Amino acid sequence: MAHEHPPDCPLSVHDLTVAYQRKPVIWDVDLNIPEGKLVGIVGPNGAGKSTLLKACLDLIPKTSGWVHIYGQPYRTNRHLVGYVPQRESVDWDFPVSALDVVAMGTYRRLGWFRPVGKTEKSLAMEALEKVGIAHLSGRQISQLSGGQQQRVFLARALAQEARVYFMDEPFAAVDAATEQAIVTLLQELRDSGRTCLVVHHDLATVPQYFDWLIFLNLRVVASGPTAEVFTEDNLRKTYGGKLSLLDHAAEAIRRS
C-alpha cells in the first residue's frame, strides 16, 4: 500500500468524490499519472471530465478523497501547474490584448501588487511566438478567430512555465491548422518531460494524439497506456449504448 501513490507522480488522485447538491458527479476516482505523458481524458458528455480537472486544481470542493501534485497538495505545488480552461469560460469582449492575456500566465511568479514589467511581456511574447501568433500580440481578443483565441490560452499556459498542464477541451471548435499546431506543441511539451492532461472529445484522433488514456464516466473505467486500454470493451463500458460513436471509435482502433 505504501507504493500505491508514488510521490514523484505529477498527479495522484486518491478516492476522489465530487458532488453537486448531494448528487455525485465523479465517484471514487483513483489515478496515478506518470511523468512525461500526453494524457487524454475521454468520456461522454456529463461524465465529469471538467469536474475532475477543476477538483484537481482546487476550483471546486471535494466531497472526499485527495489530489496530490508531485506528492503535495495543490496549494503547495501550484507553481508546477498550468491551466487552460474551456474557451467559453471567459468573456472575449473584455478590453485586453492577446499579449495582456498571455502575460497573466506570469502573475503567480510576480505575486500580489507587483505590476507586469518588461520581463513578463517578453516572456509572454515568446509564448505567443511558440503558438505562431506573435504578430497578433496587440490585437484585442474579440478580434481573433476561435483558433487564435485557443492559441492565446495555450500561450498563457506556456507562460506559466509549469511541469504539469491541465487543458479543458483545447481542440474544441478550432480549425485544422490550429489543431495541428496544438498537437505539435503538446508533443514538444511531452518531449521536454512535461505532463499534459487533456480533455478530448474526438475519439477518432485519440490513439494518434495521446500515449496515456483515462476513460471516465462518473468512475474511472480504465486508465493506462493507450496501447493497452484503447479497446472496444473499454469504449463500450465508458460510452454505453451510443453506437454511432462506437463505430467511429472502432474504426480508429483498426487504424491504430
**Interface contacts to another protein, rule CB under 8 A:** 54, 57-59, 78, 81, 83, 85, 89-91, 94-97, 100-101, 104, 107-108, 110, 112-113, 115-116, 136, 140, 142-148, 151, 156, 174-175, 177-178
Identify which of residues 104 and 125 has a Cβ nearer to another protein in the complex: 104
- How many Å apart are CA 51 and CA 19, to the nearest integer? 10
Residues paired with 97 in a beta bridge: 140
Minimum distance from CB of 199 to another protein (Å)?
14
Instruction: Count CB neighbours of 189 within 10 A.
Output: 22
Minimum distance from CB of 160 to another protein (Å)?
8
Minimum distance from CB of 142 to another protein (Å)?
8
Residues 6 or more apart whose Cβ sits within 8 Å of residue 201: 42, 169, 171, 172
- How many Å apart are CA 210 and CA 32, to the nearest integer? 16
Minimum distance from CB of 60 to another protein (Å)?
10
Identify which of residues 11 and 81 has a Cβ nearer to another protein in the complex: 81
